[in-house]
Amino acid sequence: MSELERDIKYIKGIGEKRAQLFKKRLGLFTLEDLVTFYPRAYEDWTMPLKICDIPLNENVCIKAKIASEIETKVTYNKKITTYSFYIYDRTGQVKVVIFGNKYLAESLETNKTYLFYGKVKWNGIYRQMDSPDLKKKATLSSGPYTVQQRVFPHELLKGLCQTRWSF
């Protein structure tokens, strides 16, 4: 039996219980199954676009600075709090709206550079990105951005934490 035909329960950090979850939810039985399992989508953070080049309604990565103070609004009978601000680069600006994530909103700083990932839509007057994923500049390298994440359906991964393995 080759190494690729070994049961995934023998991979360090997986074990019997987690191997059963891989088998039941993802249909992965062997190491070969695991290394040939491809995600349904990729978030490509490697090539941030300039704001002037952003296509609408497509997932994009933008490297930009926060231009304005974060504005807080409570909506829907005080059930949802939104945090909004503008980001900019040399070519334009985009309004960013974050829904209900107070910790994230409080951790952001004006005039700091971040990578924002999400869909940009046209709001009639300005471009807007709702609840993007973001990475702080401190996590960016000085060269080409090599952050690339694999995205799996969340319901399949319950109990199969991605942070334990490098893909």
Is residue 26 domain-shared with residue 57, that is, in the same domain? no
Is residue 27 domain-shared with residue 63, that is, in the same domain? no
Is residue 12 domain-shared with residue 23, that is, in the same domain? yes
- The average pLDDT across 20-36 equals 88
pLDDT, tens digit, for every residue of 122-148? Answer: 989 999 999 999 887 645 554 444 444
Question: Domain range spanning residue 35?
Answer: 3-40+153-164
Distance CA 24, CA 45 (A): 31
Is residue 7 domain-shared with residue 81, that is, in the same domain? no
Domains of the chain: total: 2
Phi-psi region of 68 (alpha: psi -120 to 50; beta: other; left: phi over 0): beta
Under DSSP, is residue 29 helix (H, G, I), strand (E, B) or coil? Answer: coil
State the CATH number of the domain containing residue 123. 2.40.50.140
Distance CA 59, CA 132 (A): 10
Is residue 134 domain-shared with residue 74, that is, in the same domain? yes
Residue 24: CB partners within 8 Å, gap ≥ 6?
none
The rounded percent of the chain whose pLDDT value lies above 70 is 80
Is residue 143 domain-shared with residue 105, that is, in the same domain? yes
Distance CA 54, CA 144 (A): 19
Is residue 102 domain-shared with residue 158, that is, in the same domain? no
Residue 92: CB partners within 8 Å, gap ≥ 6?
50, 51, 52, 127
Label residue 165 by pLDDT band (50, 70, 90): very low
Under DSSP, is residue 151 helix (H, G, I), strand (E, B) or coil? Answer: strand
Is residue 86 domain-shared with residue 140, that is, in the same domain? yes
